[in-house]
Amino acid sequence: MSNFKIAFIHEIYPFGGKEEITNILADFFNQNNIEVFVYSCVIDTSKSLNNNCRYNLLPDRNIASDINSEFLINEICANNIDIFIVPDYNIPLESIRQECECKIIYVLHSTPFWEITVKYELAKLRSTKSLLKKLEWHVIQFWRYDVFRLHERKIRNNYREILANVDRFITLTDGYSQKIISELSLSKEFSNKLSSISNPLSSIIFNNQEFVNKQKEVLYVGRLSYADKRVDRLLNIWKYICINYPDWNLKIVGDGPEMQNLKNLAETLGLINICFEGYHDDVSAYYNKGSILCMTSTFEGWPLSLSEAQAYGVIPIAFNCSAGVEKIISPNGVNGFLITPFDITQFANQLEELMQDEEMRKRMAKAVQQKSKEYSLSNIGKQWLGLFNELMSR
């Protein structure tokens, strides 16, 4: 596929999981003579950028603006982009499809209809801020969200519009594809546009096969946000654990809008042996030393921190909140532990059992490392190449 060209669009690059996946895939594509363009509203030059990408700054901070749409159309045509990849952004695809000859791939990096959950969770959170907000919830918002579900209709229609304007809609597991087909009652024409490709792990990770410096450390690695990540649950779990295990530490690795709220909660709960490490571009040092990774999210698509942790022999414990989480950790008890959503007591008990049993940790560390090889870049990259060949042969 010599001189083959693809383009990704992002809002902030680099930033989180979506951008990391672009980063990882760019290396593989470059090795296969595929030129990679990245268009973004913000390009953060303070963080390390992949030299295998050509970066282009979008003219407007609003990723879905008409100005950006016109700019993208001109860029795609001028650079003869073969495939335009949209990782989970609601941009005007119809105009790009009409004006450009490129194939369009939409990639859903989360669980289907995650937007419904976010809107609901944030609305419920706002209702706790004051008596007036609580009254507004019971009088107005309860009917809108819980009874008539007006926000759901708009989001489902948006999924239909995306499917109408793309050549392929990628989900992270077959279960996600089937959920979309079922909930939208899709015809064969649209259901055939759905495919699943899991997120890959960087090949750099697999250069380390032995991790002998494990410490008594429990990790959280990821963004600190409320509606999806709910790290406050982990702090409440740690409340039951920390007093009885003073030789263990909890390290929160990441940053986000909930940072100060979580620090305040830790202080209110009187937590000990907890450290907020902030954002780190390279978290390998934490994975090398960590023994257990905890995830207490309300929903996740394909959390990289779970599969990355496994590659480093870190045993994950997570609420079974999605098909993606279940696939990474399954079988339960072998490649980690799946906890009934959102049972804080069960989570705490399972974490405590694992902390107590060193032999269990050693046994499971080997198992999770083996599991992570399913998501090697060579395996996942070949699936992407197959998809590109299929689309370009049409």
pTM: 0.82
Residue type, 199: N
Mean pLDDT, rounded, of the chain: 90
pLDDT tens readout for residues 233-254: 999 999 999 999 999 999 999 9
Tell me what pLDDT residue 312 has: 93
Q: Hey, do 4-109+166-200+376-392 and 205-374 end up sharing a CATH topology, with the first three levels equal? A: yes
pLDDT tens readout for residues 336-364: 999 999 999 999 999 999 999 999 999 99
Fold type of domain 4-109+166-200+376-392:
Rossmann fold (3.40.50)
Domain ranges of the chain: 4-109+166-200+376-392, 205-374
Cα(21)–Cα(199) distance, integer angstroms: 7
Higher-scoring residue by pLDDT: 274, 3: 274
Residues with Cβ within 8 Å of residue 47, at least 6 apart in sequence: 14, 281
Mean of the pLDDT values across residues 42-52?
Answer: 86
CB atoms within 10 A of CB 59: 11
Structural contact between residues 334 and 311, judged by C-beta atoms closer than 8 angstroms: no
Residue type, 81: I
CATH number of the domain at 205-374, please?
Answer: 3.40.50.2000
Structural contact between residues 239 and 208, judged by C-beta atoms closer than 8 angstroms: no
